[in-house]
Amino acid sequence: MNQPLLSVVITVYNEEDNIQPLLHATYAALSGVDYEIILVEDGSTDRTIAEVKKYANTRTKLVIFNRNYGQTTALAAGIDQAKGQYIATMDGDLQNDPTDLPGMLQKAIDEQWDVVAGRRANRKDGFVLRKIPSKIANWIIRNSTNVHLKDYGCTLRVYKADIAQNMGLYGELHRFIPVLAKQQGAKMTEVDVKHHPRIHGTSKYGLSRTFKVVADLILMLFFQKYFQRPIHLFGGLGLLAFLLGGIINVYLLVLKILGEDIWGRPILILGFILIVGGIQLITTGIIAEIIVRTYFESQDKKTYRIKGFYTGEQEVQTSN
């Protein structure tokens, strides 16, 4: 099979009523593109699988999970199966519009973007429960990671294949895909895309995801700044705590020499906690460094990616 230009990865979970219009709309939108569609069925309990088999064409592949793993894992599985030069991701609830894909693909090709991200210009979701939390989350992520996209929640994106396939998706990190791509040096842009209200099925998201976003953001900030040098974080905090604890204990020692009773003072307990905590943080940093070295060296992984070579006669592109 020849390599298609575009692989479209669509995650679906209990979307039986959306499958027919979703596939028909996607086939029509991509009629002039050499494409494949990879549907990842994430442990649905309705007739989603039967509907996909009923309406799939010869360019459609269905990946069936044995249980529900979540959107990040489903996206990772679909990307792993993709053969295209470019990979697009899209939700299966009909809120994303596949007619945006050809334009996003052409922009990526013509302007040499590694990632073209969708921005829902006229979002058709509830204002209080969806739009406001989303705006707050986008602002926090944008300013804390320094990856300046306006809509992190839009799944509709087009990637160069080597970027998508090296992002290391797991857990619930799909919300931070632009940050993961940026860590690989990806050039990104954002374009307005259409957004439709959900007609069939129910949303899989709620306010509870806000806490997950905050927890994942902490992880992403660690990955972004300290993944290859954890001792700089833990060691720095540990040394600061140890220094403050030492200063407190020296101060208390001077008071003791001067004849004052220091037993039972809260500052004595604070000094002890800071010294012990500092030692623990430094130890954690050393252990983390060992783990990082084991991660890279045991799997022969590199801490860098080479974009290409120039031999003096010709330039060679590579995805390593």
Instruction: Give the start-to-end residue ranges of the domains of the chain.
Output: 6-226, 230-298
Phi and psi at 39, nearest 5°, equal -95, 125
What is the pLDDT at residue 114? Answer: 95
What is the pLDDT at residue 315? Answer: 57
Q: Which of 71-85, 134-148, 209-223 is the least confident region?
A: 209-223
Q: What is the pLDDT confidence band of residue 217, given thresholds at 50, 70 and 90?
A: confident
Q: What is the pLDDT confidence band of residue 54, given thresholds at 50, 70 and 90?
A: very high
Tell me the pLDDT of the chain averaged across its residues: 84
* Domain 6-226 classification at class level: alpha beta
What is the pLDDT at residue 50? Answer: 92
Q: Is the pLDDT confidence value at 313 over 80? A: no
Percent of the chain beyond pLDDT 90? 45
For residue range 274-308, list pLDDT tens digits in order. 999 999 999 998 998 888 788 777 777 666 556 65
Sign of CA dihedral 169, 170, 174, 178: negative
What is the pLDDT at residue 27? Answer: 96
For residue range 189-207, list pLDDT tens digits in order. 999 999 887 776 565 555 5
What is the pLDDT at residue 199? Answer: 74
What is the pLDDT at residue 310? Answer: 62
Please give the DSSP secondary-structure letter assigned to residue 131: I
**62-78 average pLDDT score:** 89
Closest CA to 76 of 38, 46, 47: 38
Assigned token pair, 76: 């990772």
Q: Which of 77-91, 193-207, 219-233, 239-253 is the least confident region?
A: 193-207
Closest CA to 169 of 45, 105, 77, 91: 77
Using a cut of 0.85, tell me whether the model's pTM lies above it.
no
What is the pLDDT at residue 317? Answer: 59
What is the pLDDT at residue 304? Answer: 56
Q: Is the pLDDT confidence value at 94 over 90? A: no
Longest distance between any two alpha carbons in the chain, whole Å: 89
Per-residue CA distances from 180 to 39, 84, 95, 185, 188 (Å): 23, 20, 24, 9, 12
